[in-house]
Chains A and B, each alone.
Chain A
């Protein structure tokens, strides 16, 4: 339903998207995960026709977004990150206008607008102007305008930014409803928990590249059930490195260093909580002072940390 092949977008020397490839089928949610500036929005904008790819291809319902752009756009519903509404037009008129922009007319339009009003929970406020709505209600209407023409492929670009927990939960329900109705949803976010809840499979992006790809369970398996241990404090660089190497040479701990800086050391190992005394002893012996300890169980966030050496939200 949605296929992206070696898609690249350059701005001069800056490579915003670098040979991005992934594929997603009917009735699935595919997550595009990464920090700000990772290349998610560039990829989405190339798929939606807003940007012309420098190279590579994207296909929506079998239509090349460049060569057969109009047909591709007809099969695509985009829910942009920013609200894109006519705030001086009643909610129902917003839906009708965007429905007509995609060619819906007459009874089909009436019926679909009615369905979407139910889906987004705004039937009671259908005739009100969006400028009187709360932020969450506007988000829901923004979503409704993107799906009113019942597109087989839906692009959601960070739809939960600045949304309260209640509206976020409602949005998740709406995304799942569209997926259950057979749509292929491409969902970009930098919130791991959203990706873990919604996505059947996902690609993790950083610096314009896909650095990991697969189903959530496949990606979790890459962590091999290892915990991530982050120590904050003061750590003499050479002495700390030597102390950690000594532990690793012992061979009884499957320890790996992710990052080592003067004020932060990040390690990954199995059953970290059982081995904390050994690690603290070695580091204090090297002159290090631990002021804070953060222990994370394996999840996509720790995978991202493992892959990139940095936090997802940095």
Chain B
């Protein structure tokens, strides 16, 4: 065990001499992750627009129309600002607002008299979503206004006249008139033969943002690059003759392998940990999940390192080993959710992806990061990864003893 620690320190010292390589292992996933996050709008924030209203009528009804745009949930999408036609036009043209609604003078009277009147809506041509919403809302408001005028035209007229000088008796009279009309209309609107059962859907769990779903794949990309790169060190040592020298010595080959695995665990934890820190900071993931996520990727990284090394040691020269393991790396990254999250893949592809080593690890890391609580990865998953690491390292030690180190 003492020689394992010696070997561990030696490999860490050597790793510190080649930080450029580490930077490359880190830079590729971070660049890809950054680009993906930018494309996915990062935090998944809703769009928000400004509707300018040039109210030239300034009546009760025009106020009502303008207020409809910021009522209820719409208020989260649209802010209504009053302006003049000239200023509004300038601001829309400058891209400072999603639309300009012009309510002409005489709109209230024309509405009550059921006369034709034109509302003007100018939208920002450089935007697509918000102007569309504003147009739809305008059409709905006007449709609703048409029916309201047909049913309650007189009452609205009364309300308009009462603004600022209402008396309890007048308000009560209008209320009774409206109630009577509703009672007449209600059976047509809600026929008694049809029972409407209003079922409220159960409250859904908050869905993680699309960009957050990418985080485990990006972290695994960094882990895969580093574990594959570190695994090639067995070949480096063989080519430099230090493995042969080790065979001459009574130092144990098994301890040598354990030392390398420990060093790999530290390096992978640093690289994976950095990507995790950036991801946690950006997505605002709870830091209580950090220790479990870090231990999970470090252990998984050792397992990947061990199997990459075992695979590379099967080949007759370093070039072949390097080419084969690189050829394997990219399909694994693809299948394992580094380029497209498993959570949003079609079911059958995601099922295959979860069977890949990195997909298995990324899937559980996704759960750890996105679900409620920490240390939620099940014990069987920990055992599977630990067994994979142990078996991979055993194969490495076996290959060293059966000729790899002696060549």
User: Interface of A with B (CB < 8 Å)?
Assistant: 48-51, 70-71, 73-74, 76, 78, 80, 82-89, 93, 97-98, 100-103, 105, 129, 145-146
Q: Is the CB of B10 within 8 A of A84?
A: no
Q: Is the CB of A88 within 8 A of B250?
A: no
Closest to A83 in B: B241
Q: Is the CB of B18 within 8 A of A88?
A: yes
Q: Is the CB of A98 within 8 A of B250?
A: no
Among the listed B18, B244, B251, which residue makes an inter-chain contact with A101, where contact means beta carbons less than 8 Å apart? Answer: B251
Query: What are 7 contact pairs spanning A and B, CB under 8 A?
Result: A49-B248, A50-B244, A85-B240, A88-B14, A89-B17, A102-B250, A105-B2
Interchain CA distance A86-B245 in the complex, whole Å: 11
Q: Write the nearest CB–CB distance from A9 to chain B, whole angstroms.
A: 13
**A-B residue pairs, 6 tightest by C-beta:** A84-B241, A101-B251, A88-B17, A84-B245, A78-B248, A101-B249
Among the listed A71, A73, A87, A101, which residue makes an inter-chain contact with B6, where contact means beta carbons less than 8 Å apart? Answer: A101
Q: Write the nearest CB–CB distance from A43 to chain B, whole angstroms.
A: 15
In the complex, which residues of chain B have a beta carbon less than 8 angstroms from the beta carbon of A82?
241
In the complex, which residues of chain A have a beta carbon less than 8 angstroms from the beta carbon of B18?
88
Q: Does B320 contact A (CB under 8 A)?
A: no
Q: How large is the interface on B (under 10, 10 to 19, 20 to 34, 35 or more residues)?
A: 20 to 34
Closest to A88 in B: B17
Q: Does B406 contact A (CB under 8 A)?
A: yes
Among the listed B6, B241, B406, which residue makes an inter-chain contact with A100, where contact means beta carbons less than 8 Å apart? Answer: B6
Q: A88-B14, A93-B13 are in contact. Are A78 and B245 (CB under 8 A)?
A: yes
Q: Write the nearest CB–CB distance from B6 to chain A, whole angstroms.
A: 4
Further pairs besides A73-B249, A89-B14: 9, Cβ < 8 Å? A50-B406, A51-B406, A74-B250, A84-B240, A84-B245, A86-B10, A86-B14, A100-B6, A102-B250
Q: Is the CB of A49 within 8 A of B6?
A: no
Interchain CA distance A89-B15 in the complex, whole Å: 9
Q: Write the nearest CB–CB distance from B20 to chain A, whole angstroms.
A: 12
Q: Write the nearest CB–CB distance from B267 to chain A, whole angstroms.
A: 14
In the complex, which residues of chain B have a beta carbon less than 8 angstroms from the beta carbon of A76?
248
In the complex, which residues of chain B have a beta carbon less than 8 angstroms from the beta carbon of A86?
10, 14, 240, 242
Q: Does B175 contact A (CB under 8 A)?
A: no
Interface hits, B221-273 → A, CB 8 Å: 240-242, 244-251
In the complex, which residues of chain A have a beta carbon less than 8 angstroms from the beta carbon of B3?
100-101
Interface hits, B1-58 → A, CB 8 Å: 2-3, 6, 10, 13-14, 17-18
Interchain CA distance A112-B250 in the complex, whole Å: 18
Interchain CA distance A50-B250 in the complex, whole Å: 12
Q: Is the CB of B244 within 8 A of A73?
A: no
Closest to A52 in B: B406
Interchain CA distance A227-B339 in the complex, whole Å: 79
Q: Write the nearest CB–CB distance from A73 to chain B, whole angstroms.
A: 5
In the complex, which residues of chain B have a beta carbon less than 8 angstroms from the beta carbon of A51?
406
Q: Is the CB of B240 within 8 A of A87?
A: yes
In the complex, which residues of chain B have a beta carbon less than 8 angstroms from the beta carbon of A89?
10, 13-14, 17
Interchain CA distance A100-B6 in the complex, whole Å: 7
Interchain CA distance A49-B246 in the complex, whole Å: 11
Interchain CA distance A3-B3 in the complex, whole Å: 30
Closest to B6 in A: A100
In the complex, which residues of chain A have a beta carbon less than 8 angstroms from the beta carbon of B248?
48-50, 73, 76, 78, 80
Among the listed B17, B240, B251, which residue makes an inter-chain contact with A102, where contact means beta carbons less than 8 Å apart? Answer: B251
Q: A93-B10, A93-B13, A100-B3 are in contact. Are A84 and B242 (CB under 8 A)?
A: yes
Q: A93-B13, A129-B17 are in contact. Are A80 and B245 (CB under 8 A)?
A: yes
Interchain CA distance A51-B407 in the complex, whole Å: 10
Q: Is the CB of B14 within 8 A of A70?
A: no
Q: Is the CB of A80 within 8 A of B240?
A: no
Q: Write the nearest CB–CB distance from A110 to chain B, whole angstroms.
A: 15
Q: Write the nearest CB–CB distance from B22 to chain A, whole angstroms.
A: 13
In the complex, which residues of chain B have a beta carbon less than 8 angstroms from the beta carbon of A103?
250
Closest to A155 in B: B248
Interchain CA distance A48-B241 in the complex, whole Å: 14
Q: Write the nearest CB–CB distance from A62 to chain B, whole angstroms.
A: 16
Q: Write the nearest CB–CB distance from B287 to chain A, whole angstroms.
A: 35
Q: Write the nearest CB–CB distance from B57 to chain A, whole angstroms.
A: 80
Q: Write the nearest CB–CB distance from B235 to chain A, whole angstroms.
A: 14
Interface hits, B186-244 → A, CB 8 Å: 240-242, 244
In the complex, which residues of chain B have a beta carbon less than 8 angstroms from the beta carbon of A84?
240-242, 244-245
Interchain CA distance A49-B247 in the complex, whole Å: 8
Q: A86-B14, A89-B13 are in contact. Are A50 and B245 (CB under 8 A)?
A: no
Closest to A129 in B: B17
Closest to B10 in A: A97
Q: Write the nearest CB–CB distance from A103 to chain B, whole angstroms.
A: 7
In the complex, which residues of chain A have a beta carbon less than 8 angstroms from the beta carbon of B249?
73, 98, 101-102
In the complex, which residues of chain B have a beta carbon less than 8 angstroms from the beta carbon of A146?
245
Q: Is the CB of A80 within 8 A of B244?
A: yes
Q: Write the nearest CB–CB distance from B202 to chain A, whole angstroms.
A: 59
In the complex, which residues of chain B have a beta carbon less than 8 angstroms from the beta carbon of A145?
245
In the complex, which residues of chain A have a beta carbon less than 8 angstroms from the beta carbon of B406?
50-51
In the complex, which residues of chain A have a beta carbon less than 8 angstroms from the beta carbon of B2?
100, 105
Interchain CA distance A71-B249 in the complex, whole Å: 10
Q: Is the CB of B242 within 8 A of A85?
A: yes
Interchain CA distance A249-B212 in the complex, whole Å: 101
Q: Write the nearest CB–CB distance from B404 to chain A, whole angstroms.
A: 13
Q: Write the nearest CB–CB distance from A61 to chain B, whole angstroms.
A: 13
Closest to B13 in A: A89
In the complex, which residues of chain B have a beta carbon less than 8 angstroms from the beta carbon of A50?
244, 247-248, 406
Interchain CA distance A49-B250 in the complex, whole Å: 10
Q: Write the nearest CB–CB distance from B99 to chain A, whole angstroms.
A: 64
Interchain CA distance A88-B236 in the complex, whole Å: 12
Q: Is the CB of A101 within 8 A of B14?
A: no
Q: Write the nearest CB–CB distance from A28 to chain B, whole angstroms.
A: 21
Closest to B242 in A: A84
Interchain CA distance A281-B343 in the complex, whole Å: 98
Closest to A131 in B: B17
In the complex, which residues of chain A have a beta carbon less than 8 angstroms from the beta carbon of B17?
88-89, 129
